[in-house]
Structure 1
Amino acid sequence: MELNDRALPLTRGQLDIWLAQETGHSGTEWQIGLLVRIEGALERDALEWAIRRVMQEAEPVRVSCFEVDGQVYQRAVDYPNIELDFYDVSCLADPVQEAQEIALSIQRTPMPFTGPLFKYALFRTRPDEYYLFGCYHHIVIDAAGIGLVGNRIAAVYSAIISGEPIPPAFFGSLQDLVDCELEYEASQDYRDDEAYWTGNLPAESNLTSGSLQAVDGHDPNWRSAPVRLDPAVLRRVHELADMWNMPRSSVITAACALVVRGWCAEGSEVVLDFPVSRRVRPESKRLPGMVAGVVPLVLRVSAASTVAGFCDHVHTRIREALQHQRFPVQALERKVHPRGPGQSVDRVVVDFFPTSFSLDFGGIAASASMTNSGLVGGFGLIFSGVGDELFLTTLGAGQLFSNFDVTDVASRLQRVLVAMTADPGRRLSSIEVLDGGERARLEGWGNRAILTRPSPVLDSIPGLFAAQVARVPEAVALSCGGQSMTYRQLEEAANRLARVLCGYGAGPGECVAVLMEAPRRRWWRFWRC
């Protein structure tokens, strides 16, 4: 494509996605979807018209991305004939499953950067039930933006059906999106955020041991079935969070950090990836584009820390990260910790994701759910729901544990939460993450039985040398430059030196520096008496 006055640069967040896809990640990993269940009769023509109207308003979503002379640009494209593909699967044995499988196949069909970077489909599963699916490339929209678009489509459709005036459009433009980012990059807030993250980056760009295990042939878009966490455990977590004046998510994040550290991290530092919306300015909250980001949550785990102290530490770090969430931390990490093409940071993501929300299509109830969170690479722990209805889903091609299953991860997490809530004053070192079988395997791999066996009493080096002198006193012990010393002569010389040192006050266990003459230079040696 050629440059013109409508071409604008990509934002930092968009450029990260462009570079990641161009250097190794499959394009379909970046494609995210919204699946809306509409429980009632639906007018297809009115819905298709509403989608076209909203997409005309959502300029940041209908862009084309292209490269010119090494620079990447985006330009809004008019799509006057946006199609709403229709599938009637109501006659099949399991129409809902069929609709979901077709939607997944759409999501796994690559969208070229030249556009369009969105697609819509409608499924009829019963005469009074429909599923609307919207698929988008993450380079043009994030989860919050999809929520804006979904709500706007429902509002426009409702106005058409009721004969009411269409509510005024409120989306920001593509120029607004770019200007918002450029204004931030020129502000004092940007410099303050940069100073914070420069001083708070992880010591290493990857997990300390890098032991997120890859699963051969595993779909990187794979998302497990949700597992509900025990409501009784959640109520206790909620009680503690209220007592400590912090959100429940901080306590759960602390538990996730202990689980991760127990299996695939070393030392006192645990680093989690923490998704953030970056929508801190009022104008950014009406932008249906790509604004979101991910920041590293650097947590320091001390075995002597208490549960209460560690939760307070986690809560403090989360608040700091949110205060500085607009900064492009990934670009700074690449600068501080350079990586080769296609190499990505391999960290566990912890995300509290509002996977579902309600919509109203002209008086017809509808529930919308995200098909994935847009996280790419590595492994994610995704929490969704409110109150006692909290679910854990795992996402990605990696895994934390051998014989991995989402129910296993949920069980480990709940075991840690139970220990934490039972005694908030207990030390972290007393909380067991691994089960008995895994602990036994680790002890076997580490030869614990041998290492804990009482050590035999060994002779000292002087004792061993004295025994050698007694066995072969006239054998040559040292030779250099045509001269040699027998074991007897070497022992006598060593004893003479020892007596001299004793005369100067040297005693057992002390270090002595000895200056020895050598050609062209002098050598310093340190000896322990």
Structure 2
Amino acid sequence: MDKTKNIQNIYPLSRMQEGMLFHSFLQKEGAAYIEQSVFTIKGRLRPELFEQSVQSVISRHDIFRTVFLPHVAQLNGPRQVVLREREFRLHREDLTHLDEAEQSAYLQRFKERDRLKGFDLQKDMLMRVSLFKTADEKYVCVWSHHHILMDGWCLGIVLQEFMHMYRAIESGSPVTLAPAKPYSTYITWLTDQDKDAASEYWKGYLAGCETPSGLPKISARPQEKGYRKKELLFSLDQNLTDRLKTIAKEEGATLAVLMQTVWGLMLQRYNRTDDAVFGAVVSGRPSVIDGVESMIGLFINTVPVRIKTGDESFRELLGRCQKEMLDSEAFSYHPLADIQSQTELKQDLIDHIIVFENYPIQQQMRDAEKESDAPFRIGNVNVSEQSGYDFNLIIAPGDELIIKFSYNANVYDEVWIESVKGHLEEALRGAAFNPDVPADRLPMLGQKEKSRIIGEFNDTKTTYERDESIISLFSRQVKKTPDHQALHAGGLTMTYRELDERSTAFARILLENGLAPKG
């Protein structure tokens, strides 16, 4: 059979998809860009109908029948190829013979293997679904896909449609969903945009940005290769969350912009600057496309956010940042790589991202369950992914704001990340309860950390002669313990003797170039 007969459509990739395609071929294997959703299912579930329902969703949306080719003969650049048919197979296991602890351990091992397995973007169906029976009328589902297919907003839509399909198949009733809008509609819109206008906007927005202002890479041990993922999850109490929402509303700002503004001020303090830049993930769904809210595909983009302070209060800065965000929305589709290429810093412009997760999966599930006689309930939806950045700040809105630091533990030390958490909590309290404070004086140190710095760090229990200088004290220590460790930072370790030699050499260079007084 001619394989070309199974091809339904061929069209270009978005630039975000191109980036993921490139990195996937570069890395060959690993968990980067693998999104894994895990949720529980309680109720009357027939696995054979589960499989048919997933197949119906795949048949409905072109993107789930798509493969990605880095080069297509006679075409310029990579292409995504939509196949007319793709056959889905559900992976099923019965774990009811294991106790709860054993089930948990088994599922954890499975999820890790599933992530590391990855996908072959040129051949595989880029979605795997596994169903584990853990008790009577109770299942755990592991639903994995490559991020090149769709973004987080799509998951709730897919699960809603899956439940609709299941009910229709079980009852023998017709499917009443409106026809699906193909992802190619968005790609067509994207190719029609004014790239020159977008390029000029971002060039002006980032003009004069010449110094990196990322999150300092602090670790107590030498940095290792690879990505060792760790997470720190915490929440803000309802009182603080409500107050932050109030301040944002008073200035006509979103909670996302408030969080970005506070984070930018923290980066300024860390980097001793008044100008900080980091990445922010935007939804990327243009409202001018009819039905875009229910379309399945990858729409998100990462764009730079610049927080530059002057002589203004936090409240005033927040209002200005909101205006700048609204101005940038018209050009939020522009590829990050193109934006970076026009700056002095190039790829060093940003080293981490902020993600404001605003997709209402749980509410969508509750709405789906309200429809007539839902045979089961989907709950405890947890989505995990690994981006290409060593640090990710992820925020989920709610009555209590949930914040997650997802980071590479080979780059960032756990103690340092805990400190960043404390700084963020204190800065948010300052913004919430004293928004008229000068922006560059937003507090970051809590009382506990202040007391530690002032009290514990200064409690040396050592006395010195009044006429002793730091240099003479150091020289005395060199003679006393020349081979003891004097410095360990950024993977560098030195003895007192080595540090003294480096210091002497540096002083000599300063003297020879007339940059230090003689004597």
Using the size of structure 2 for normalisation, the TM-score is: 0.74
What is the CA distance between 1:235 and its match in structure 2? 2.1
What is the CA distance between 1:427 and its match in structure 2? 1.4
- Aligned counterparts of 1:251 and 1:338: Cα–Cα separation in 2: 26
What is the CA distance between 1:210 and its match in structure 2? 6.9
Residue identity matched to 1:375 = S
- Aligned counterparts of 2:386 and 2:328: Cα–Cα separation in 1: 20
Alignment CA distance shift 1:352-1:174 (3 Å): closer
- Aligned counterparts of 2:215 and 2:251: Cα–Cα separation in 1: 33
Q: Equivalent of 1:427, from 421, 435, 438?
A: 438
What is the CA distance between 1:79 and its match in structure 2? 5.2
Q: Is the Cα–Cα contact under 8 Å of residues 34 and 369 in structure 1 kept in the other structure?
A: yes
TM alignment of 1:299-314, pairs within 5 A: 299-302=307-310, 304-314=311-321
What is the CA distance between 1:161 and its match in structure 2? 2.6
| SS of aligned partner of 1:82 | coil
Q: Is the Cα–Cα contact under 8 Å of residues 228 and 409 in structure 2 kept in the other structure?
A: no
In the other structure, the counterpart of 2:354 is 350
Is residue 2:77 matched to residue 1:77? no
Q: Equivalent of 1:269, from 268, 275, 279?
A: 275
Residue identity matched to 2:198 = D
What is the CA distance between 1:336 and its match in structure 2? 4.2
Alignment CA distance shift 1:121-1:430 (3 Å): same
TM alignment of 1:276-291, pairs within 5 A: 276-280=282-286, 281-291=289-299
Alignment CA distance shift 1:363-1:377 (3 Å): same
Q: Is the Cα–Cα contact under 8 Å of residues 350 and 380 in structure 1 kept in the other structure?
A: yes
Runs of 5+ unmatched residues, structure 2? 459-467, 470-519
Alignment CA distance shift 1:338-1:300 (3 Å): closer
| SS of aligned partner of 2:333 | coil
Alignment CA distance shift 1:80-1:421 (3 Å): closer
- Aligned counterparts of 2:249 and 2:420: Cα–Cα separation in 1: 26
Is residue 2:216 matched to residue 1:211? yes
- Aligned counterparts of 2:133 and 2:225: Cα–Cα separation in 1: 31
In the other structure, the counterpart of 2:247 is 240
**Alpha-carbon displacement from aligned partner over 1:121-158 (angstroms, at most 9, x marks no partner):** 11222212212222111122211233332221121112
What is the CA distance between 1:390 and its match in structure 2? 1.7
Q: Is the Cα–Cα contact under 8 Å of residues 43 and 376 in structure 2 kept in the other structure?
A: yes
In the other structure, the counterpart of 2:303 is 295
Is residue 2:152 matched to residue 1:143? yes
Q: Equivalent of 2:327, from 320, 333, 336?
A: 320
Q: Is the Cα–Cα contact under 8 Å of residues 58 and 288 in structure 1 kept in the other structure?
A: yes
| SS of aligned partner of 1:193 | helix
**Alpha-carbon displacement from aligned partner over 1:185-213 (angstroms, at most 9, x marks no partner):** 3xx5x544333222113655873367334
Q: Equivalent of 1:154, from 163, 181, 184?
A: 163
Alignment CA distance shift 1:165-1:205 (3 Å): farther
**Quick check: 139-148 or 352-361, which moved more?**
352-361
Alignment CA distance shift 1:101-1:227 (3 Å): farther
In the other structure, the counterpart of 1:119 is 128
**Quick check: 208-217 or 165-174, which moved more?**
208-217
What is the CA distance between 1:293 and its match in structure 2? 0.7
**Quick check: 220-229 or 43-52, which moved more?**
220-229
**Quick check: 203-212 or 47-56, which moved more?**
203-212
What is the CA distance between 1:365 and its match in structure 2? 2.2
TM alignment of 1:56-455, pairs within 5 A: 56-68=59-71, 71-78=77-84, 80-90=86-96, 91-94=98-101, 95-96=103-104, 98-114=106-122, 115-168=124-177, 170-182=179-191, 184-185=192-193, 188=194, 190-201=195-206, 203-204=208-209, 207-208=212-213, 211-213=216-218, 216=223, 220=227, 222-263=229-270, 265-280=271-286, 281-302=289-310, 304-336=311-343, 346-354=350-358, 356-357=361-362, 358-359=364-365, 360=368, 362-367=374-379, 369-372=381-384, 375-387=387-399, 389-397=400-408, 403-404=414-415, 407-434=418-445, 435-436=449-450
Alignment CA distance shift 1:101-1:319 (3 Å): farther
- Aligned counterparts of 1:309 and 1:138: Cα–Cα separation in 2: 38
Alignment CA distance shift 1:58-1:80 (3 Å): same
- Aligned counterparts of 1:210 and 1:241: Cα–Cα separation in 2: 25
| SS of aligned partner of 2:396 | strand
Q: Is the Cα–Cα contact under 8 Å of residues 69 and 80 in structure 2 kept in the other structure?
A: yes
What is the CA distance between 1:392 and its match in structure 2? 1.0
Q: Is the Cα–Cα contact under 8 Å of residues 32 and 385 in structure 2 kept in the other structure?
A: no
- Aligned counterparts of 1:2 and 1:440: Cα–Cα separation in 2: 74
- Aligned counterparts of 1:21 and 1:118: Cα–Cα separation in 2: 15
Runs of 5+ unmatched residues, structure 1? 444-452, 455-529
- Aligned counterparts of 2:401 and 2:226: Cα–Cα separation in 1: 25
**Quick check: 205-214 or 321-330, which moved more?**
205-214
Identity %: 14
Alignment CA distance shift 1:32-1:314 (3 Å): same
**Quick check: 363-372 or 228-237, which moved more?**
363-372
What is the CA distance between 1:404 and its match in structure 2? 3.1
**Alpha-carbon displacement from aligned partner over 1:314-337 (angstroms, at most 9, x marks no partner):** 222322233322222332323545
**Alpha-carbon displacement from aligned partner over 1:3-32 (angstroms, at most 9, x marks no partner):** 988432222221122223344596521111
Residue identity matched to 1:347 = D
- Aligned counterparts of 1:336 and 1:410: Cα–Cα separation in 2: 30
Q: Is the Cα–Cα contact under 8 Å of residues 218 and 397 in structure 1 kept in the other structure?
A: no
Residue identity matched to 1:116 = M
- Aligned counterparts of 2:21 and 2:211: Cα–Cα separation in 1: 21
Q: Is the Cα–Cα contact under 8 Å of residues 298 and 317 in structure 1 kept in the other structure?
A: no
- Aligned counterparts of 1:11 and 1:239: Cα–Cα separation in 2: 37
| SS of aligned partner of 2:332 | coil
Residue identity matched to 2:185 = D
Using the size of structure 1 for normalisation, the TM-score is: 0.73
**Quick check: 254-263 or 219-228, which moved more?**
219-228
| SS of aligned partner of 1:170 | coil
Alignment CA distance shift 1:89-1:410 (3 Å): farther
| SS of aligned partner of 1:296 | strand
Q: Is the Cα–Cα contact under 8 Å of residues 8 and 73 in structure 1 kept in the other structure?
A: yes
- For the aligned residue pairs, the C-alpha RMSD in angstroms reads 3.5
Q: Is the Cα–Cα contact under 8 Å of residues 392 and 410 in structure 1 kept in the other structure?
A: no
User: Highest relative contact order (Cα 8 Å, sep 6+), 1 or 2?
Assistant: 2
**Alpha-carbon displacement from aligned partner over 1:285-319 (angstroms, at most 9, x marks no partner):** 333112211110111023x4212112222222322
**Alpha-carbon displacement from aligned partner over 1:251-310 (angstroms, at most 9, x marks no partner):** 2222222223222x34221112110111013343333112211110111023x4212112
Q: Is the Cα–Cα contact under 8 Å of residues 313 and 439 in structure 2 kept in the other structure?
A: yes
Residue identity matched to 1:106 = D
Count of aligned pairs: 436
Residue identity matched to 1:81 = E
- Aligned counterparts of 1:391 and 1:19: Cα–Cα separation in 2: 33
